[in-house]
Chain A
């Protein structure tokens, strides 16, 4: 049997639910610190629910498994494309919001920082990956 799958990206089926739980607890703690207990509880419930749905559907759907636990080369490529597109959409949204803020006479915070970080991250990663070949 030929095994091409990288074991590093064959995660436990509990990986995604535990990440969701961890993120939910962090959001809950931060919300509680900010005095928004209700909002924090809702966020925790949404994230835990999402993690459980991924866990339950993972045994039925190859797409969900590819998204969460068993990522072969095609799913890795899909992930890369989806990540790139999401980043582009985020940057375009930040650009539009920045333009709107500036047009309203504001200084464009915090969208100017988001755009600067996004642009810099792109340039640094481009140079890095070019250097790595």
Chain B
């Protein structure tokens, strides 16, 4: 699923590891989300959206192919 995680993370000059620590997941999980290979659970998607101050709909685009 396409998302803004990488864009929002790099906007804040954060490394994947830092975001992973903040979310309590592994760096690989953040990488998989950013590349669209892994769709996070609803709690993690909400935590990511809350962390970056956007809505889940803004962060994740389920319409994009």
A interface list, Cβ under 8 A from B: 1-5, 62-63, 65-66, 70, 72-75
* One of B27, B38, B51 near A2 (C-beta < 8 A): B51
Contact B26–A2 (Cβ < 8 Å): no
Which secondary structure dominates chain B's binding surface?
helix
Count contacts on B: residues with CB < 8 A to the other chain.
18
In whole angstroms, what is the CA distance A66 to B41 when docked?
Answer: 17
Q: List 18 A-B contacts (CB under 8 A).
A: A1-B21, A1-B24, A2-B22, A2-B50, A4-B43, A5-B25, A65-B26, A72-B25, A72-B26, A72-B29, A73-B25, A73-B29, A73-B41, A73-B44, A74-B25, A74-B26, A74-B38, A74-B40
- Chain B 18-65 residues near chain A, CB threshold 8 A: 21-29, 32, 38, 40-41, 43-44, 47, 50-51
Instruction: Pick the most buried of A3, A63, A66, A72: most chain B CB atoms within 10 A of its CB.
Output: A72
